[in-house]
Amino acid sequence: MKIAILGAMPEEIEPLLANLDAKKIDYANNEFYLAKFGAHELIIAYSKIGKVNSTLTATLMIEKFGAEKLIFTGVAGALKEGLKIGEILYATRLVQHDLDITAFGHPHGFVPGSPIFVDTDANLNEIAQRAARELGLNLKSGIIASGDQFVCDEARKAWIGAEFDASAVEMEGASVAQVCHALNVPFCVLRAISDEAGNKAEFDFDEFVVKSAKISANLALKMVELL
């Protein structure tokens, strides 16, 4: 089976590449890594930050490289109380918090022709839970909100959490969800908490991103073992 493992930043895929003998392919101003892992073929890439970049990269992983399933690994900021730096969760569904055509009477996150919330794949989520148990991780779940902004403002954090009942916020997951939904590719989104999305989140992010990304990447590889 061909499985895509996607991150948004180099730090989010470097722990994967460190354990694999991967061949690099340069394409569309990005780098894609092909590797064997057990019975599977992996396509690994980091998209670069933001919804446009992640949409392009996810589409190429599926349409050009033939990915049949997609695991998105990385980090996010916590919105709900009880989620601490270093903890990990999988998305039950994803939403774009910065999509706003409310002037026309639509709810936040709505775009014609697409659902506001895109659900992740139940089977992959079950495998994620099995993988977490084998690694001794306490895997949580929740809605993840995505937008083209790094959230480090208490008021914005509170609004996103209340409007979408979201547990975490990041900058790419919901756009990748839209791609997988449109192309009928099962996917899951794993996020390790790197910051608390409020005041001084940027300082927490810089300190904890590498450690948090490694936790999420290790979980993604364990999932591939179980597929």
Q: Which residues are catalytic, by number?
A: 12, 195
Place of tokens 């990447």: 217
Q: What's the rounded Cα separation, in Å, for the pair 223 and 132?
A: 9
Phi, psi of 125 (to 5 degrees): -65, -35
Let me know: does 96 contact 174? Beta carbons within 8 Å: yes
Q: Which of 110, 127, 98 is nearest to 190 (CA)?
A: 127
Q: Which stretch of DSSP H or E encloses residue 164?
A: helix 154-164
State both tokens at 169.
């916020």
Counting every residue, how long is the chain? 227
